[in-house]
Amino acid sequence: MLLKDKVAIITGGASGIGRGIAIKFAEEGGSVVISDITEPEGKKTAAEVSQKGGNGLFVRCDVTSSRQVQEMVSQVIRKFGRIDILVNNAGGVPGAG
């Protein structure tokens, strides 16, 4: 359990590479926050994280919005008390949406 008692945020974690990282982190015992703009897939991935032994949480967040990123970080701190790992997997251009 390499990530026991660790809290990770994975942006773009709902699918693809981000989802794969989230599942692996869960298998290693981590608490994993799935941050993504795609809510149905994000919630599904968070549920899979919990099934794999991690503590999964989905937070809808558009990383091109500093306000949404700040709120997401605040929500994670309120729930887990800290952030140990950040995987910047999502991409976007501010103001493009």
- Average pLDDT of span 30-37: 97
CATH number of the domain bearing residue 65: 3.40.50.720
Q: What percent of the chain has pLDDT over 70?
A: 94
Residue-averaged pLDDT of the chain: 93
| Beta-bridge partners for 85 | 8
> For residues 16 and 50, what is the distance between their CA atoms, to the nearest angstrom?
18
> 2 pLDDT exceeds 60?
yes
Specify whether the CB–CB gap between 91 and 97 falls below 8 A: no
Residue 74 lies in a domain: yes
Long-range contacts of 42-50 (CB under 8 A, 24+ apart): 42/13, 42/14, 44/14, 45/13, 45/14, 45/15, 45/19, 48/19, 48/22, 48/23, 49/22, 49/23, 49/25, 50/26
Does residue 95 form part of some domain? no
Domain assignment present for residue 1? The answer is no
Contact 63, 11 (CB under 8 A): yes
Tell me what the mean pLDDT of segment 62-66 comes to: 93
Cβ proximity of 82 and 5 under 8 Å: no
pLDDT at 17: 95
Residue 54 pLDDT exceeds 90: no
List all residues 6 or more positions away from 43 whose beta carbon is below 8 Å from its beta carbon: 58
Residue 87 has pLDDT above 80, yes or no: yes
- 33 belongs to a structural domain: yes
